[in-house]
Amino acid sequence: MITYLARSNYLHEVQRTFGGTGNLDVMGFFTQALSVLVPMVLVIIFWRYRRKILFFAVRFFVRNLFSRSRRIIENYLVSRGVVIEVCLYSGDGVGKRLCSARVTSVVGGRMKLQLIDTSPVVAKLKSARVICLMKPFAYSGRRINSFVTFISHMKRRGIVIKELSLMTPVRYKHIIRRQHARQRVAREGTVRVKMWSGRKANTFWMQRPELQTVNNPARYGEYTRLIVENVSAGGMRMYVVNPKGALPPLQKGNQLVLRVSIWNPKTNKYTYFTVLGTIRSRFSGRGGAIGLGIQFTSEGEPVGSRYTWRAVDGGIKSLGKFLSQLQG
């Protein structure tokens, strides 16, 4: 009893010190605390989700003001079965590729996608911001090839995406897709490439390459070989000339191990880069050649007598630095 009275008197003294009178007003104390705490929590929530809140606010007005033009573009995407490439997006630009897909329907401000091929994803994607890239088309005198939006719904099994829906964007726009400047290879031999199937990523250095470039094409006639058209920090474009016999898998989505050697005129030596690339496009070239557009996804680093692979987003930095020095 004595302890309780001592504590009560202490609380009364504290209340009198801050101008209070009478018994301790517990409800008043909580009201004052909440009047400070609630605005702070609201400010934190708004700041954390500011992009999404601003996105929905702006989209609400745009959908009402420009509903006709947006409906025409969305109907075009659905009716033509336009293939879009969905990538993570940040203020720094295009990030990791998630999948290729077609827009099957647009209902209630949401795009439902039919997935064509997907990339393994470990990161959390709930409400993630994405950029969608596609072949450019013209509408009302302007070119369109991309839009930025948020993931509305996603379902995955392990690291494989099974379902994906997006919010309709604020606007459809045209951007320059290439994050890295491509350097055209003017003469065969300045860029040499040795190729192995991605299945041999852990043993490729112990085996002969399955395909490679040659120094003097005139001596090889109908020999199956590689020709490099251009190269950048993010990937390369090449052709398989006279394709025949046993070839590594060359379909979209297949991975390849590439040993890329680039001639450095400043040192009169070749500089080597070992990369793991994914085939993003396949097309036909002259004389039945197979054209390949390859995106670099991992960089190989020698560790003792083997290689380890370090995943990269947005290209091989060491290769980009080397190419920029050559241009300089």
Q: What's residue 2's pLDDT?
A: 46
Structure tokens at 216: 């003097």
Q: How far apart are the first and last CA of the chain?
A: 86
Rounded Cα–Cα distance for residues 293 and 270 (Å) = 23
Mean pLDDT of 251-277: 89
- Please state which of the ranges 132-141, 168-177, 247-256 shows the lowest mean pLDDT: 168-177
- pTM exceeds cut of 0.75: no
Rounded Cα–Cα distance for residues 310 and 305 (Å) = 17
pLDDT tens digits for 59-75?
A: 887 777 788 888 899 99
**Contacts of 35-39 spanning 24+ positions with Cβ under 8 A:** none
Structure tokens at 76: 């075009």
The runs of H, that is alpha helices, within 22-174 are: 26-48, 50-65, 67-79
Q: Which of 260, 238, 277 is nearest to 323 (CA)?
A: 260
Mean pLDDT of 162-171: 91
Q: What's residue 220's pLDDT?
A: 74
For residue 66, the 8-state DSSP code is: S
CB 306 within 8 A of CB 162: no
DSSP of 166-229: EEPPS--B-----SS--EE--STTSEEEEEEEGGGTTTGGGS--SEE--S-GGGTTT--EEEEE
In sequence order, the 6+-apart residues with CB closer than 8 A to the CB of 198 are 249, 254, 255, 256, 257, 276
